Chain A
Amino acid sequence: MAKVLQEATKMTQVQKMVKKALTGNEAAAYAMRQINPDVVAAYPITPATEIVQIYSSYVADGLVNTEFVAVESEHSAMSATVGACAAGGRAMTATSSQGLALMWEMLYIAAGLRLPIVMPVTNRALSAPINIHGDHSDTMGARDAGWIHIFSENSQEVYDNIIQAIRIAEHKDVLLPVMVTMDGFIISHAMEVVEVAPDELVSKFVGIYKPDRYLLDIDNPMTMGGLDFTDYYFEHRRSLAEPMFHAKEHILAVASEFEREFGRKYGLFEEYRMDNAEYAIVVLGSTAGTAKVAVDELREQGVKAGMIKVRIFRPFPYDEIAHAVSECRAAAVLDRSDGLAGRGGPVFGEVRSAICDMEKKPVTMNYVYGLGGRDINVEMIKSVYKDLQRAVATGERALVNYLGVRD
């Protein structure tokens, strides 16, 4: 009986979701309001400014209990966030592109000090030349900083991912900072229907942050980030790798609890029509939505097309992705940033590494696309599938391709 009641309560909670028209930035600010962190330190940068600006109006209106600091640069924004979190507070900020680049030093410090900071990042191209539009170069550059990276396809996922990120970051076996990304302008400035949960549900889900160790704990005084030469630095960095190995299971556990409470399902990645798929593409962010249309159209024409949308980029789901593409004849990886590594973008490298030990593996190709916000459409994605089919049929392929660039 109690169980039935419990289930019924959950049902009503799910039904209490309210539909709102929100942009990605608005959805991020809305989630932050419901999370109600202790400190938000921020500096404006296009196209992420809105997140913290809207948040500052929540502070002014007395809707949150947050201390808001308008600092003098992103370097200071992340420094203040690190300080607040080290002092035992739940601290957040948001940024984009050059702002993230200016945070570089502190990104590594946040991870090294095991501070569970959650930061929405509106993906934008990096200078030079200067560009304000969306691509993944900014966060891809931070892929080795020790942060968990969660990509979002639309405003709804931005909202959901930020709420889940708090739980993932603050889990005592994880304690890593998390960045939740959205494509600049394409998600951040486009208005969509977003189902938002009641405030009480979100605050119950994220709970109260109770760190085990923090500065200013007079009964257990401690130091953070102390000098660490050849004696212990290696051990400390090795211990930083440990939570990344196991973060996946906690990410999935949080996702399944989220599904129970909020009614929406998340995994490490999303498989779209991958059943018996022969040709697959692997993609991140908003392009997944466009790719789904391409897959549907190709399936109608009898092409066995499928798609994988990577949600968790760090830690990268190597084994799971390898398994997902194992039955495909060919797979293309779409990178919205150019790693300039001499052989394709960063996601391509990860996917190739993932399938490396498989006996039977798909033919792979890489497509760098959409730099600086260059448009990608259904026809372009269909041309990738056409290339994959040709590669399988004739054995002819170019390993690294640039999609939608003028020669």
Chain B
Amino acid sequence: MAEQTMVATKHPVRRPAVHEWLRVKKKFPHLWCPGCGIGIVLGGTIRALESLGYSKDEVVMVAGIGCTGRIPVYVDCNTLHTTHGRALSFATGVKLARPDLKVMTFMGDGDALAIGGNHFIHAARRNIDITAIIVNNAIYGMTGGQCSPTTPLGKRATTAVYGSVEPPFDTCELAKSAGASFVARSTVYHVKHVEQMIRMALEHKGFSVVEIISNCHTYYGRINMEGGAVEMVKAMREKSIMVSETMDYEKARATGKPYVIGVLHRDTERPEYCELYEQMMQEAIGRK
């Protein structure tokens, strides 16, 4: 219908790439709250894939459960919607079966670091060529704002009404320590930067992690009185410091700002898991 109108007016408008990649007719409207940052992550992902020239058939998106876990439901490529925390395990299987495909996972902080924490560190340890996008809103959004492994100390959640007493994980530090060979962080305020970080992660061979700080104004913002979507996203600008040529990671951390953004770690020397696996297989066959 929309296309017919375009022909009729003879003013064809170039539809943005995201429209080609979305299951608009089948799966929309989406379930995210108005103002949610996940849409920015989805948009950034599609623009990054498009700019690198990937076709929809070359990309596999795997997700578990949660608000972020919904991303692949709305994307018209090869998608696998699995169980809570296990996106990386399923993705590991996909990647080993089809190393030629670009495999991505989408997880929230609860999905990736609580119930799926084990799989996260082991995927990083193997350095398997998967791009893990972790949207960190510091809370369990879908089930109603429970305390998560990234809820900052003292911040409140529906299961921590006097504030969390558990120290949170630093997703990027965890990924780096466990062996991920590309680690970056961005926030949904930095829309172009999100796209750039995802593009660099996709270009990297090995386990790449992009943590994107997002806003859950519906629960986190309301419970902690940090305002609505606009206030929370604006605050990200104040709370972030970018790693750049003049400001290295340690210097940026020393400023005390909560979110050091940019590429935090990159190791191009570490061998990638599927290649090692293939190499081992060829050697074993040669030996026979």
Contacts and interface: CB of A to CB of B under 8 A. Distances in A.
A63 B99 CA distance: 55
A384 B83 CA distance: 36
A32 B232 CA distance: 37
B70 to A, nearest CB: 10
Contacts of A159: none
Interface stretch (B44-52, B153-161, B172-180, B246-254): B153-161
Interface in A221-244: none
**Interface majority SS (helix, strand, loop, mixed), chain B:** loop
A98 B81 CA distance: 14
B115 A49 contact: no
A44 B162 contact: no
B147 interface: yes
B144 A53 contact: yes
A44 B143 contact: yes
A56 B159 contact: yes
B84 A98 contact: yes
B147 A70 contact: yes
B146 A53 contact: yes
Contacts of B115: 43, 72-74, 102
Given A98-B83, A98-B84, A70 B146 contact: yes
Contacts of A52: 159
A44 B144 contact: yes
B85 interface: yes
A73 B140 CA distance: 12
A164 to B, nearest CB: 28
Given A44-B140, A72-B149, A60 B114 contact: no
Interface string B121-155: 00000000000000000001011101101000000
Interface in A337-385: none
Interface in A82-105: 98, 102
Interface in B67-89: 81-85
Contacts of B84: 45, 73, 98, 102
Given A72-B117, A73-B85, A46 B143 contact: yes
A127 interface: yes
Most A CB contacts (10 A, CB to CB) among B82, B85, B158 go to: B158
A9 interface: no
Chain A interface residue number, banded: 20 to 34
Contacts of A57: 158, 161
B142 A53 contact: no
A2 interface: no
Contact of B144 (A49, A68, A127, A129): A49
B161 A49 contact: no
Contacts of B143: 44-46, 49
A5 interface: no
Nearest to A42: B159
Interface in A118-142: 127-130
Interface string A53-72: 10011001000000010101
Interface in A177-220: none
A73 B84 CA distance: 9
A128 B80 CA distance: 11
Contacts of B117: 72
Contacts of B161: 56-57, 60
B224 to A, nearest CB: 15
B274 to A, nearest CB: 26
A70 B159 contact: yes
Nearest to B116: A73
A47 to B, nearest CB: 9
Interface string B194-213: 00000000000000000000
Nearest to B73: A130
Max chain B Cβ within 10 angstroms of own Cβ: one of A49, A50, A128: A49
Interface of B: 65, 81-85, 114-115, 117, 140, 142-144, 146-147, 149, 158-162
12 contacts: A44-B140, A45-B143, A52-B159, A70-B159, A72-B149, A73-B84, A73-B115, A98-B65, A98-B83, A98-B84, A102-B83, A130-B81
Interface of A: 42-46, 49-50, 52-53, 56-57, 60, 68, 70, 72-74, 98, 102, 127-130
Given A60-B162, A72-B115, 5 more contacts: A43-B114, A50-B144, A53-B146, A73-B114, A73-B115
- 4 tightest A-B contacts by CB? A44-B143, A72-B114, A73-B115, A60-B161
